[in-house]
Amino acid sequence: MEDKKEITLLGAGLIGSLAAVYLTKQGYTVTIYERRPDMRKESISAGRSINLALSDRGWRGLAGAGVDTLIRDNAIPMYSRHIHNLDGSEINQAYGKENQAIYSISRRDINCLLMDAAEENGAKIFFNHRVTNYDINNNIITIEDATNKKTFQISPGLTIGSDGAFSSSRLGIQFTDRCNYSQTYLEHGYKELVIEAGPDNSFLIEKNALHIWPRGGYMLIALPNPEGSFTCTLFFPFEGNPSFSMLKTEADVLQFFEQQFPDALKLMPNLAHDFFANPTGSLVTVRCKPWSFNNKLLLIGDAAHAIVPFYGQGMNCGFEDCFTLNEMITKHAHNWSAIIHEFEALRKPAADGIAELALMNFIEMRDLVGSAKFLLRKKIEGAFYTKYPEKWQPLYTMVTFSHLPYHEALAMGKFQDTIMDKVMELPDIENIWNTQKVEDMMLQLLAESEKS
Amino acid sequence: MEDKKEITLLGAGLIGSLAAVYLTKQGYTVTIYERRPDMRKESISAGRSINLALSDRGWRGLAGAGVDTLIRDNAIPMYSRHIHNLDGSEINQAYGKENQAIYSISRRDINCLLMDAAEENGAKIFFNHRVTNYDINNNIITIEDATNKKTFQISPGLTIGSDGAFSSSRLGIQFTDRCNYSQTYLEHGYKELVIEAGPDNSFLIEKNALHIWPRGGYMLIALPNPEGSFTCTLFFPFEGNPSFSMLKTEADVLQFFEQQFPDALKLMPNLAHDFFANPTGSLVTVRCKPWSFNNKLLLIGDAAHAIVPFYGQGMNCGFEDCFTLNEMITKHAHNWSAIIHEFEALRKPAADGIAELALMNFIEMRDLVGSAKFLLRKKIEGAFYTKYPEKWQPLYTMVTFSHLPYHEALAMGKFQDTIMDKVMELPDIENIWNTQKVEDMMLQLLAESEKS
């Protein structure tokens, strides 16, 4: 297959913009068509952001393109999950070792910085340009320029679809024979809310933490912003009791928050207004196979594998796509048949892995993090990990602070769970957890598994 | 919601045509738009049929519309599965009790008869009319008349999407928020082949049977046609060894059939030609939820729930949709909001059930039917069923010869499997299967389950 000198990207979101930096640095002429207006020039309606949490995979992806330092100034480290129980008690749980953190960043800030970087490296972004038809068999893409309503057609040598969960380029693949595809929605939606800053941009709750109000079937979370506010998200069922459908009036909302989130409510003066002014978002997992067609189109990021946000890995996974794609370009010396083949082989199982992990973590966040058994379990794992880091890494650490492929982390986590299940069944584990007996048991179970 | 007097159907296939008969009899003015030409007037390319097997659910669906007698003359009863083992031995396994049969029928014959019936009852079918756009939010359907390339728009009070596995009306629903959708392909494809008739339209193998050549990872089947031939289908992996991708030449095909299907090969003089002349079809399962939008659109048949063909229930399930829809129209006195709501509530779990059963039966057909253990298991179940028909019906009987909702049959089958697993573990079961001990064990396990 011939080398490609020019590459067309569909979508200048987080993943498309970072991919453009990598590709221009690899010597390609890059053109991006973006459906939306340039967010650097226009105000975009708020209320649909879910603040992002950058972690090690994301940082590596940014660093590989030389753009991590741009981002770091705008990011706030969160060293712990800070849990707000219904009884008013609070628990601060470190995410990892000292100095290990995930970083709160606004989607808008990071996207603007990455667009700047893409353009500085020579990529050309056409905003307000929407794909209206994708004839995948003839490789003809019809694009409409919203500013003058004119359409034109292009036939790129290589198109990279970075156009998100509702990708129009993926549609082309979906209609080809033997494409496996699924879109699966949660019965929960989300609503963005805000905890206001205090005087002089002060933080009214712990700044360097991701706050969680776990309530079993639902939860509220909050991530810090540089100006002292927190972007909050309520993850909540659409139907049932309680649910979005039950909260019909401002009084309903205030009463519900008074009962369930009284400490947060005190810091949310605009809650009742925001609750009805902001849209209710839905949460989808998208699985697709293949991600490419005829070496002319390759999907990356959410277009290939949209996931729910509960492991904070959607952006990180997409940045890891960009990092791996860049590695493949170098490894296969711009042979795109080989690049696409190995990229899919490496990334598809990883994407399936993080999709499953993200669904699992919703249960953990909304339901388990507040329980004494869960905290004890994490404490035992943490102590063992500190002593035997080469034998055991907690699942959260593997996902968040390592580059182990997601599916391998998932498999290892499931295996470790079988050991922890046995440990937690020990009589009086609450009192003996820190004893040699427990440590020996874990070492023995690990040794047995190595033998078999 | 207002009553609907006129109904638009998309697709005049098996399900759309039968639905049209029911709806006209219920007093509706019915218009059908069908993408293809009128198959009653034009020859349609062969090679993609998979002969159909009508069973009790299908017959009830036809009878409810008064069209079963039209069909019966063209159908050949198959009382047994006739298994052709690799060593040349053959086994004839009755499908049910004496006179219980599934019926071989050509898709074309039954579709033509149903179109005739729909038109006789007043339905108007526009052939060569293809949906080119479905604006579901504004309820505007754009249709192109292939004969003059002109397009026009309609805005029906109620549209029923009976447009098959690749439904264009379903696409409208897929793009709505929180629609769960999946399309899942098997790694096996299919190829239509033929066993020719003997002299004077004689049948060269047992006429009243469904023939199976089970070979583990793949199989060949054959269903009788009235003129003495058999329509055969090879279900075979796309990739691997053996697979479609491995059989590259006519010599490859002949050698493979000589090794694996020597008895069939003798009756297939045109095998090598047909193998390459006929297309290789793919096999998809489609799941969708919801099946309706805004009481303006309802999906039925494959458009709502395409399944793989291994239980012979695709058409039967679609005819059961028509039967149930008609029941709901009567029950809810033409209140379409109530009709659609209860139709989906009844049929969605049933459709999910038969989708799972169909996938399970592929394993059974290609792999298990030839094994001694499997045959013994069926023999034990059959004997118990004969003696205690009120306590036990084999799964195949529930699916094929009853109207028990598919998902209830599936659940009962799984429960019965737990009992049969225990029975089959009895020492020396091959010799004691017909003893009081085994019967008592089954009775006791059933009694225990009733208590709990």
B29 and B114 share one domain: yes
Token pair for A258: 């008074």
Among B132, B171, B184, B245, most A C-beta atoms within 10 A, so best to mutate, is B184
* Same domain flag for A112 and A167: yes
The dihedral over CA atoms of A382, A386, A388, A390, expressed in degrees to the nearest 10, equals 100
For A167, nearest residue in chain B (alpha carbons): B175
Q: Which of A289-293, A361-365, B444-448 has the lowest mean pLDDT?
A: A361-365
Assigned domain for A37 exists: yes
Pick from B180, B238, B282: CB nearest A183: B180
Q: Please give, rounded to a whole number of angstroms, the shortest distance from the CA of B426 to a CA of chain A.
A: 30
Portion 264-293 of A in contact with B at CB < 8 A? 282
> Average per-residue pLDDT in chain A?
95
Chain B hits for A177, CB-CB cut-off 8 Å, are: 185, 282
For chain A, give percent helix, strand, coil, nearest 5: 45, 25, 35
What is the model's pLDDT at position A2? 46
Residues on chain B touching A238 (C-beta within 8 angstroms): 178
Query: Helices marked H in B36-156 — which ranges?
Result: 56-64, 68-72, 107-120
Name chain B contacts of A180, Cβ cutoff 8 Å: 182-185
Domain containing B157 — which CATH number?
Answer: 3.50.50.60
Asked if A184 lies within 8 A of B180 by C-beta distance, the reply is yes
Query: Where a domain ends, among B323, B338, B361?
Result: B361
Query: Which residue in A has a C-alpha nearest to residue B186's C-alpha?
Result: A178
Please identify which residue in the block is written with the tokens 């196979």: A289
Instruction: End-to-end CA distance of chain A: give it in Å, rounded.
Output: 45
B316, B440: one domain: no
A429 and A318 both lie in a single domain: no
Side chain identity, residue A14: L
The three-state secondary structure class of B246 is: helix
Chain A: give the shortest CA distance to residue B183, in Å: 5
Q: Do A183 and B185 touch (CB under 8 A)?
A: no
Residues B183, A183: C-beta atoms closer than 8 Å? no
Over 50: is that where the pLDDT of B388 sits?
A: yes
Determine the pLDDT at residue B1: 39
Say which residues have a Cβ less than 8 Å from residue A56's Cβ, sequence separation at least 6. A316, A400, A401, A402, A403
> What pLDDT score does B279 carry?
94
| Min Cα separation A183/chain B (Å) | 5
Q: What domain range is B292 assigned to?
A: 6-45+107-183+283-361
- The radius of gyration computed from the CA coordinates of chain B, to the nearest angstrom, equals 23
How far apart (Å, rounded) are the C-alpha atoms in residues B106 and B108?
5
- B367 confidence band (pLDDT: 50, 70, 90): confident
CA distance B317 to B353: 11
Alpha helices in A121-261 (DSSP H): 168-174, 250-260
Check CB contact under 8 Å for B185 and A184.
Answer: no
Any B CB within 8 A of A73 CB: no
**pTM for the whole structure:** 0.94
Give residue-wise pLDDT tens across range A176-226.
999 999 999 999 999 999 999 999 999 999 999 999 999 999 999 999 999
Interface contact flag, A177 B282, Cβ < 8 Å: yes
Q: Average pLDDT over chain B, rounded to whole?
A: 95
Task: Tell me whether residues B184 and A185 touch, CB distance under 8 A.
Answer: no
- Band the pLDDT of A48: cuts 50, 70, 90: low
SS3 A36: coil
> pLDDT tens digits, residue range B19-67?
999 999 999 999 999 999 999 997 765 545 667 999 999 999 999 999 9
Residues B127, B37: one domain? yes
Residue B29 domain-assigned?
Answer: yes
Question: Do residue A185 and residue B180 have CB atoms under 8 angstroms apart?
Answer: yes
B81: pLDDT strictly greater than 80: yes
Q: Are strands B230-237 and B209-214 parallel, antiparallel or unpaired?
A: unpaired
Q: What is the pLDDT of residue A3?
A: 56
Residue A8 C-alpha, separation from nearest chain B C-alpha, in angstroms? 25
> Is A96 part of a structural domain of the chain?
no
- Taking an 8 Å cut-off on Cβ atoms, the answer to whether B185 and A181 are in contact is no
- Average pLDDT rounded to a whole number, residues A343-367: 95
A356 and A288 within one domain: yes
**pLDDT for residue A1:** 39
**What are the pLDDT digits (tens) for A302-322?**
999 999 999 999 999 999 999
Structure tokens at A431: 């009192």
| DSSP category for residue A152 | E
Q: Best mutation site among A173, A182, A288 for testing chain B: the one with the most B CBs within 10 Å?
A: A182
Give CA–CA dist A295/B215, Å, rounded: 36
Give the separation between CA B114 and CA A398, rounded to whole angstroms.
60
Tokens at residue A264, please? 């947060």
Q: Is B184 an interface residue toward A (CB < 8 Å)?
A: yes
Q: Are residues A355 and A430 in the same domain?
A: no
End position of a domain, from candidates B294, B327, B361 = B361
pLDDT digits (tens, 9 = 90+) for B211-231: 999 999 999 999 999 999 999
Q: What is the DSSP letter of A368?
A: I
Mutation choice for B interface testing from A167, A184, A282 by most B CBs within 10 A: A184
Residues ≥6 apart with Cβ < 8 Å to B363: none
Q: How many CA atoms lie within 13 A of A4 on its CB side?
A: 26
What total number of domains does chain A contain? 2
Same domain, B34 and B161: yes
pLDDT in tens, B271-284: 999 999 999 999 99
Judged by a CB distance cut-off of 8 A, whether residue A418 touches chain B is no
Cα separation, B247 vs B236, whole angstroms: 11
Q: Which two tokens stand for residue A102?
A: 């995930």
Residue A178: list chain B partners with CB under 8 A.
185, 238, 282
Query: Chain B within 8 Å of A185 (Cβ-Cβ)?
Result: yes
Q: Is the pLDDT of residue A242 over 50?
A: yes
A176 CB within 8 Å of a chain B CB? no
Length of chain A: 452
Is the separation of the CB atoms in B141 and B160 below 8 Å?
A: no
Regarding whether A119 and A35 lie in a shared domain, the answer is yes
B36 and B165 inside one domain = yes
A379 lies in some domain = yes
Cβ of B174 under 8 Å from any chain A Cβ? yes
B311 and B345 within one domain:
yes
- For residue B45, what pLDDT is reported? 55
Q: Alpha-carbon distance B157 to B295, whole Å?
A: 9
Instruction: Mark which of A333, A361, A389 sits at the end of a domain.
Output: A361
E strands present in B140-238? 140-145, 150-154, 159-161, 180-195, 209-214, 219-224, 230-237
* DSSP per residue, B358-423: HHHHHHIIIIITT-HHHHHHHHHHHHHHHH-TTT---HHHHHHS--S-HHHHHHHHHHHHHHHHHH
Least CB-CB distance to A181: which of B178, B183, B282? Answer: B183
Pairing relationship of beta strands A80-84 and A209-214 according to DSSP bridges: parallel
Q: Chain B residues with CB inside 8 Å of A181's CB?
A: 181-183
In a domain, B395, yes or no: yes
* Facing A180 at nearest CB: one of B178, B179, B184: B184
User: What residue in B sits closest to A283 (Cα-Cα)?
Assistant: B178
For B267-335, give the DSSP string. Answer: T-TTHHHHHHHSPEEEEEEEEEE-SEETTTEEE-THHHH---GGGS-HHHHHHHHHHHHHHHHHHTTT-
On whether residue A79 sits in a domain, the answer given is no
Q: Is residue B173 part of a domain?
A: yes
Question: What pLDDT does A44 receive?
Answer: 60
* Interface touch B183/A184, C-beta < 8 Å: no
Q: Would you state the pLDDT for residue A326?
A: 98
Beta bridge partners of A220: A213, A234
Contact A318, A14 (CB under 8 A): yes
Residues A81 and A196: their CA atoms lie apart, in Å, by 20
Q: How far apart are CA A133 and CA B452, in angstroms?
A: 58
Q: Which two tokens stand for residue B431?
A: 């010799």
Name the nearest CA neighbour of A143 among A158, A157, A153, A135: A153
User: Looking at the complex, does the CB of residue A179 fall below 8 Å from at least one CB of chain B?
Assistant: yes
**Are B174 and A183 within 8 A, CB to CB?**
yes
Q: Does A180 touch chain B (CB under 8 A)?
A: yes
Q: Using CB atoms within 10 A of its CB, is residue B41 exposed (0-12), middle (13-18) or buried (19+)?
A: exposed
Nearest Cα residue in chain B from A182: B182
Q: Which residues from A are below 8 Å from B282, CB to CB?
A: 177-178
**Residue of B178, B180, B185 with shortest CB distance to A180:** B185
Q: Measured between alpha carbons, how far is A162 from A131 in angstroms, rounded to an integer? A: 12
Same domain for A356 and A400, yes or no, is no
- Distance (Å, whole) CA A57 – CA A392: 20
Please return the burial class of A122, using the count of CB atoms within 10 Å of its CB with bins 0-12, 13-18 and 19+: middle
Chain-centre distance for alpha carbon A106:
13
Q: Which two tokens stand for residue B228?
A: 């003495």
Q: How far is CA A223 from CA A86, A146, A227, in A?
A: 19, 35, 12
A416 domain-assigned: yes
Q: Which pLDDT does position A368 carry in this prediction? A: 80
Cα of A362 to nearest chain B Cα, Å: 18
CB < 8 Å & 24+ apart, contacts of B131-140: B131/B10, B131/B33, B131/B35, B131/B163, B131/B168, B131/B169, B134/B168, B134/B169, B134/B171, B134/B172, B135/B172, B136/B172, B136/B173, B136/B175, B136/B176, B136/B293, B136/B294, B136/B296, B136/B297, B139/B294, B139/B296, B139/B297
Residues of A whose CB is below 8 A from B177: 185, 282
The one-letter code for the residue type at A147 is: T
Spatial separation of the C-alpha atoms in residues A164 and B258, rounded to whole Å? 51
Using alpha carbons, list the distances in angstroms from residue A286 to A227, A301, A340, B289. Answer: 34, 11, 20, 15
> Span B244-250, mean pLDDT?
97
